[in-house]
Amino acid sequence: MIVSSDSDIKSFDGQANGGAATFFAPPERASAAALIEQAHRAVAEPLLAPLFDSLLEMALLLNRERQIVFANRAFREGTGPNSVLGLRPGEAIGCLHAYSDEAPNGCGTSHACRSCGAVLAILASQRTGSGHEEVRIVRHHESEALNLSVRTRQITLQQEPFTMFVVEDVSDQRRREELEHGYFQDVLEIAGSLRDLVARLPTVALDERPCLQRQIIGKVSNLIAETDARRLVAKAERNELSCTFTLVDGRDMLEACGAAAASDRIAIDPACESALFETDWNLASRILSSMIKDMLGAAPPEGSVTLGCRRDGDEVQIRVCHPGQVPALAAPRMFDRSSFANPRSRELATQGLRIIVEKYLKGRLCLASSDAEGTVFTIAFPGARSPRAAP
């Protein structure tokens, strides 16, 4: 990162300063002249640039005002060609809070920054020499969050203290851990209720046994479905799924999956169309069955789940709806890589479905929730180019 003039310094283009200068970390910033001098000093150090560039992780050198004076090759390649000199880490990464109305002076100055691992690690290194924290960052131009491990250490260049700031993306690792936690929690819940049902068998009246047996079969089916869904997501993340595309009818698939769910709370929309598209029947029907099961669990007690299919331009849309509404704060996180009865496991399951739909079935999965329509999950597939008969 070579600096030759003031034009190389990136000014923070966030909210204008006003009211409180900061709600947490010191707001002061170094002058342009000081930043240029610090950047030149960093580049002039014979071992600093080679050491930083040898790291596989993204690494920054920060001045005492938490501004970037040097970024290694991994950081430059990960964030693009624009200069980050003079920005703070959250501003360079695009943290939502750094650009919010609540941050009068950018990264580190909002209320949310009080619990930010990145800021805490920097401040810890300034006090004690080193810091290590994890931080969850939502970028202002994306809905998906990053889970980052941040390590900091104080170093001295020509008797001036700087902070070495190293970032590792642990989003995939945390997502796998949370998927595993959600899966085992769901399996234990199903197994526990199954044990209770089986324990009742010797004492239940003969005329009540058929009902109890149906409940037991339902729980076993849920256990199998839960395990199969987890196996699907795991194979998808390891790039081990294979697909065989054939021409299918959306209404046929909905009717088959609805019948397999064996619930009197499932209905086919009267306006449901017969629309053709190409997909892997086995994989798509398993995804759809998982969505129906999740929506049954999330619907209000007396609410039904409605299945529909329609052609919209070049797309065929498969819709699964229930009359309840997702809370406003939860809706944006339904597809978060690292976040439906069990809210957390349902978020994780939804993200798993999205991976499979978009990566393998070449479709897209979206969510809409409102008072008027309730909650609607839609899988949109490219429609068939010609009205051929399905095999």
* Per-residue pLDDT tens digits for 56-76: 999 999 999 999 999 999 999
Give me the pLDDT at residue 11, please.
58
State how far the Cα of 36 lies from the Cα of 30, in Å rounded to an integer. Answer: 10
The answer, yes or no, to whether residue 330 has pLDDT greater than 60, is: no
Q: What percent of the chain is modeled with pLDDT above 70?
A: 85
CATH class of 173-382: alpha beta
Q: Which residue has the higher pLDDT, 220 or 12?
A: 220
Q: What is the mean pLDDT of residues 329-354?
A: 48
pLDDT band at 295 (very low <50, low <70, confident <90, very high): confident
Which range, of 13-22, 28-37, 100-109, 239-248, averages the lowest pLDDT? 13-22
Task: Report the run of H or E that residue 117 belongs to, with start and end.
Answer: helix 117-128
The answer, yes or no, to whether residue 4 has pLDDT greater than 50, is: no
The answer, yes or no, to whether residue 327 has pLDDT greater than 60, is: no
The answer, yes or no, to whether residue 391 has pLDDT greater than 60, is: no
- Side chain identity at 27, as an amino acid letter? P
Give me the pLDDT at residue 6, please.
55
Give the start-end residues of each E strand in the chain. Answer: 58-62, 68-71, 130-138, 145-157, 160-169, 246-249, 266-268, 276-279, 305-312, 315-322, 364-370, 374-382
Name residues whose C-beta falls within 8 Å of residue 136's C-beta, 6 or more positions apart in sequence.
145, 146, 147, 148, 338
Give the CATH number of domain 6-169: 3.30.450.20
State how far the Cα of 306 lies from the Cα of 323, in Å rounded to an integer. Answer: 9
> Contact 283/359 with Cβ under 8 angstroms?
no
- Side chain identity at 342, as an amino acid letter? N
Give me the pLDDT at residue 16, please.
41
Q: What is the mean pLDDT of residues 248-259?
A: 93
State how far the Cα of 273 lies from the Cα of 260, in Å rounded to an integer. Answer: 20
For residue 77, give Cα distances in angstroms to 53, 68, 82, 91: 11, 16, 10, 16
Quick one: DSSP state of residue 25? S
Q: Which residue has the higher pLDDT, 13 or 112?
A: 112
State how far the Cα of 373 lies from the Cα of 27, in Å rounded to an integer. Answer: 46
pTM for the model stands at 0.60
Q: What is the mean pLDDT of residues 218-225?
A: 81
Q: What is the mean pLDDT of residues 287-295?
A: 84
The answer, yes or no, to whether residue 348 has pLDDT greater than 60, is: no
Q: Which residue has the higher pLDDT, 29 or 390?
A: 29
* Per-residue pLDDT tens digits for 336-347: 443 333 444 444
* Per-residue pLDDT tens digits for 69-104: 999 999 999 887 778 999 999 999 999 899 888 899
> Contact 278/246 with Cβ under 8 angstroms?
yes
For the beta carbon of residue 273, count every other beta carbon within 10 angstroms: 14
Q: What is the mean pLDDT of residues 1-22?
A: 55
| The two three-digit tokens of residue 62, written as one number | 């920060």
The answer, yes or no, to whether residue 268 has pLDDT greater than 90, is: yes
| Domain layout of the chain by residue ranges | 6-169, 173-382
The answer, yes or no, to whether residue 332 has pLDDT greater than 50, is: no
State how far the Cα of 219 lies from the Cα of 24, in Å rounded to an integer. Answer: 50
